[in-house]
């Protein structure tokens, strides 16, 4: 017996509702946690502005929720399938001659559609808001701890002297910095001075650091309204080093990859991000299949808790593997397409194999 359109639409609607409801729950939960985090950081910076912190939170949350979308799909799928089992919908469907694969087809289609929409529509919206978040954070949280891995550092040279410049945050596609620190050396490579500034901007082949504090060995620090630090880097090279990938839309990445290739600059970061977004529908489909293992086992066993924990464990393992693959891809150790697609494809194959074993022996 084949599943009818009415029943397929019913299963798809219930599945999509559960996944989206869980996504909204995570959205509000993330918003609350993010607001408290930014409020704490702004208090440390002695520039607390409740409205600015609220706007920063609203700009930042969509991008955070985009990163946890695979796990939202996993947990939402588990919840949807368990509820279907509780209501004996799976049992009735099986009794009517509907196979597990036919029962899962609507959920798989919904997973693919959510993945496609999140990549092509949600991602551009989230990245646009992330760009605004970077700008607000650059003004509000200049000297506080950065969101993720730490300050970004870049070594540069110009006019016979070298310097190392770093920033806590970047915005305006890497051409504007906040929480700037620069170490300047003379032509012989000896340390000359340290420069700290709340903000800095790349203009016409130089960094212009606003209200900079210049510290020279054996001298008192002095404040300079605008400190000019020459650099031989082009705007494209600066963007390559400082640009925040979370603020680049899916539709802009192919152009950036092409521009980097023409300029003979490594495009590994852009390629990895682009392929990760392309592989998202496959990743969400894999999450549906992993969750289905819980559903099918539940129809034959009362040990629901262990199976849910198993699903959560698989999600955690996938996160670790994905993180390692991305680090290897961004470092150029493995090709970016392989690093982006391999976790999704392997998870999909594992889920399919286990389901085949459970259903077809």
Under DSSP, the state recorded for 13 is: H
Spell out the residues 6+ positions from residue 27 whose beta carbon is closer than 8 angstroms to its own. 61, 65
Q: Domains of the chain: which residue ranges? A: 5-142+271-360, 152-245
Q: Quick one: angle between helices 280-298 and 304-330, nearest 10?
A: 160
DSSP for 55-82?
A: HHHHHHHHHHHHHTHHHHHHHHHHHHHH
Q: Exposed/middle/buried for 169, CB within 10 Å: 0-12, 13-18, 19+?
A: buried
184 vs 214: CA distance, rounded Å:
10
pTM for this model (two decimals): 0.79
Query: Considering Cα of 9, then 15, then 21, then 27, what sign does the dihedral take?
Result: negative
DSSP for 224-275?
A: EEEEEEE----HHHHHHHH--GGGS-TTTHHHHHHHHHHTT---HHHHHHHH
Nearest to 288 by CA among 99, 81, 89, 93: 81
Q: What is the pLDDT of residue 45?
A: 57
- Could you identify the residue written with the tokens 């890497």? 174
Phi then psi dihedrals of residue 184, to 5 deg? -110, 135
Residue 165: both structure tokens together:
């410049």
Q: What is the pLDDT of residue 156?
A: 83
One pLDDT digit (tens) per residue for the chain, 361 residues = 556 678 788 889 989 999 999 999 999 999 999 888 888 877 765 566 778 888 888 998 999 999 889 889 988 888 888 888 777 777 777 777 677 778 788 899 999 999 999 999 999 999 989 888 877 776 666 544 444 545 678 888 877 778 888 887 777 777 888 888 999 998 888 888 999 998 888 988 889 999 899 999 888 889 999 999 988 887 777 776 777 777 888 998 888 888 777 766 677 888 889 999 999 999 999 999 888 887 666 555 556 666 667 767 777 788 788 888 888 887 778 888 898 898 889 888 888 888 887 766 5
Q: What is the helix (H) or strand (E) element at residue 40, kind and residue range?
A: helix 5-44
């Amino acid at each position: 017996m084949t599943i009818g359109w009415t029943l397929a639409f019913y299963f798809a609607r219930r599945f999509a509702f559960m996944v989206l409801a869980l996504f909204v729950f995570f959205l509000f939960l993330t918003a609350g946690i993010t607001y408290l985090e930014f409020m704490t950081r702004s208090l440390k910076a002695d520039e607390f502005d409740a409205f600015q912190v609220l706007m920063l939170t609203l700009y930042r949350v969509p991008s955070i929720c985009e990163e946890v979308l695979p796990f939202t799909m996993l947990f939402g799928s588990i919840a949807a399938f368990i509820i279907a089992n509780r209501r004996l919908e799976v049992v009735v469907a099986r009794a009517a001659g509907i196979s597990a694969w036919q029962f899962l087809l609507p959920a798989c289609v919904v997973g693919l559609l959510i993945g496609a929409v999140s990549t092509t529509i949600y991602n551009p919206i989230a990245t646009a808001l992330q760009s605004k978040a970077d700008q607000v954070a650059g003004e509000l949280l200049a000297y506080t701890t950065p969101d993720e891995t730490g300050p970004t550092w870049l070594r540069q040279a110009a006019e016979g002297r070298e310097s190392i410049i770093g920033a806590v945050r970047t915005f305006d596609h890497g051409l504007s910095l906040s929480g700037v620190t620069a170490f300047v050396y003379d032509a012989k490579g000896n340390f000359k001075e340290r420069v700290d500034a709340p903000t800095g901007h790349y203009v016409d082949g130089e960094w212009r650091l606003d209200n900079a504090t210049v510290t020279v060995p054996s001298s008192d620090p002095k404040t300079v309204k605008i400190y000019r630090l020459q650099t031989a880097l082009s705007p494209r090279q600066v963007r390559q080093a400082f640009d925040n990938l979370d603020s680049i839309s899916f539709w802009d990445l192919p152009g950036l990859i092409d521009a980097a290739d023409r300029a003979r600059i490594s495009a590994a970061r852009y390629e990895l991000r682009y392929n990760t977004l392309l592989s998202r529908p496959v990743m969400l489909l894999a999450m549906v299949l992993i969750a289905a293992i819980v559903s099918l086992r539940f129809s034959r066993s009362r040990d629901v808790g262990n199976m849910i924990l198993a699903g959560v464990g698989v999600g955690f393992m996938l996160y670790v593997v994905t993180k390692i693959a991305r680090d290897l891809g961004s470092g150029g150790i493995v090709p970016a397409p392989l690093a982006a697609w391999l976790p999704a494809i392997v998870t999909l194959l594992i889920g399919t194999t286990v389901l085949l074993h459970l259903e077809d022996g």
